[in-house]
Chain A
């Protein structure tokens, strides 16, 4: 599979000046300014194969959106290089722009006072979409996203979820090969989020698009993305499959064990006490203990526990994805 996106040592620096409050510092700043360079993206490199669904994660100010903007050609990199579908995005060639789509959760491309259909018609002209293809794509997308009933309602009267679905349609009408999604579920309720996830998963698999998704919601990424790139303070701290990220930052799996206390023999009780002392078990309440073992030893440990003790209940705990991401954000940047 060839690479849709190749990024090498990409950097973007924003320059701003600092000024103390008050009249004198203001007048002083007119003649002499203290400039500060802020590295929004600092030497990021990665490649994304065609047809993959990749998630960008990172706290606020990590450089996710700036990276997407450089990949789409909105921003010009300060240094480094990136190619998308063989094009240099900052050149903004028409052939390149016809092959990408960008949905921004906080910036609408729909005409506010008119129904979404009018924006779709405008896009038909802008992207020179053949009328039959436009009709078919619109039909499919409105069906999948269940928005047929709102196509004649002015955008300003739509709910946030409905608007976001129409934003997606506007970005997909020309069948882009690469789709950038910048926090598409921001502000949406859980049901709308689930609808969008379902749609994106189905449509991406069907059209074999390359999708880059940034989101603050870990579950967006976990549900949709095969691979994840984590940025923090402009640097890449992780790149790989989501499972391998969990493996890396949360190598242990934990579970709750409830013993049948009345059936425990003396030596078994002593073994449990010893395990608590050695911190292999943590007592939660009178009969319940928490066990944490490396993921690779999970099967053997479970079998041994079931064989060695009278157990009433054994329940594995879900990995807390938010905790995983918090730990990932704290990871040092790779050299």
Chain B
């Protein structure tokens, strides 16, 4: 555990060093992340106003809490997902996977830590946590955070599973396609429709809806954890297949 923590610490440190080298990156980060947060807040306000304080059966606090949990989970998930997708893509294209397979830590851990997006998405995590603390009573804080974290792991697993076939062939471009779809899907307000088809069509909302079901006491946290465990088992199985069938012979 100490070994993994030391590598995680080093990776975060290196990620920060790498990120700070480019002033343009810092500027883009300020513009995109804070603008995105502002737009999402406006969206929330409009939704709340239009629904007259009762949106698909959720109370106003629940909607604000939903937004906070979504931001928190989104920040956590994107910190890892963006890194994982970017990393896997680069790994297959540039051959880093070869080196990671040779290094002592398990390659999945190496992939997760290599492009850690911890710097990029910290506003989501901080603002999201603030909203969760504001919107839910203190007795629900732990449950709210736990649900948001488990929800983010579900999202990570689903994105990873969907991206793997592309990564397998070295075609994945993280700047377009599925990732953009997922980004937009997260902002679609499906609410508590209980329609699996619609939920499946919007992975992001599925996770946060499940989280909200847990926070409002309609679903057990254990079930959420089991869903996450099952999806990660599938994702790891597919990753194992990816590495087993890895066919980079020479270049």
The reply to whether the CB of B183 lies closer than 8 angstroms to some CB of chain A is no
Which of A95-103, A194-202, A280-288 lies at the interface? A95-103
Restricting to B95-137, which residues have a CB under 8 Å from any CB of A? 95-96, 98-99, 101-105
The reply to whether the CB of A65 lies closer than 8 angstroms to some CB of chain B is yes
- Cβ-defined contact, B99 with A102, below 8 A: yes
Contact with A along B17-48 (1 / 0, CB 8 A): 11001100000000000000000000000000
- Cβ-defined contact, B103 with A73, below 8 A: no
Which of B6-14, B60-68, B222-230 lies at the interface? B6-14
Number of interface residues of B (CB under 8 A): 27
- Point out the residues of chain B lying under 8 angstroms from A40, CB to CB: 249
- Cβ-defined contact, A121 with B249, below 8 A: no
The reply to whether the CB of A107 lies closer than 8 angstroms to some CB of chain B is yes
The 8 Å CB contact of B99, one of A92, A94, A107, A114, is A107
- Cβ-defined contact, A14 with B247, below 8 A: yes
- Cβ-defined contact, B17 with A126, below 8 A: no
- Cβ-defined contact, A74 with B101, below 8 A: yes
Give the CA-CA distance A280 to B188 in the complex, in Å. Answer: 90
The reply to whether the CB of A66 lies closer than 8 angstroms to some CB of chain B is yes
Known A14-B247, A107-B98; contact A128-B3, beta-carbon cutoff 8 A: yes
Restricting to B213-251, which residues have a CB under 8 Å from any CB of A? 244, 246-251
- Point out the residues of chain B lying under 8 angstroms from A127, CB to CB: 103-104
Known A111-B18, A114-B18, A125-B6; contact A92-B101, beta-carbon cutoff 8 A: yes
The reply to whether the CB of A215 lies closer than 8 angstroms to some CB of chain B is no
Give the CA-CA distance A123 to B17 in the complex, in Å. Answer: 16
- Cβ-defined contact, A14 with B249, below 8 A: yes
The 8 Å CB contact of A122, one of B14, B21, B249, B251, is B14
Contact with B along A124-135 (1 / 0, CB 8 A): 011110000000
- Cβ-defined contact, B246 with A98, below 8 A: no
Restricting to A60-79, which residues have a CB under 8 Å from any CB of B? 65-66, 69, 72-76
- Point out the residues of chain B lying under 8 angstroms from A102, CB to CB: 98-99, 102
The reply to whether the CB of B184 lies closer than 8 angstroms to some CB of chain A is no
- Point out the residues of chain A lying under 8 angstroms from B14, CB to CB: 111, 114, 118, 122
* 15 cross-chain CB contacts under 8 A: A72-B102, A74-B101, A74-B102, A75-B246, A76-B244, A94-B104, A102-B98, A104-B99, A107-B99, A111-B18, A113-B21, A114-B18, A125-B10, A126-B103, A128-B3
Q: Which residues of A are at the interface with B, using a C-beta cutoff of 8 A?
A: 14, 40, 65-66, 69, 72-76, 92, 94, 97-98, 100, 102, 104, 106-109, 111, 113-114, 118, 121-122, 125-128, 154
A sample of 10 more A-B contacts (CB under 8 A), given A109-B99, A113-B21, is A65-B250, A66-B250, A75-B246, A97-B102, A107-B95, A109-B96, A111-B14, A113-B22, A122-B11, A122-B14
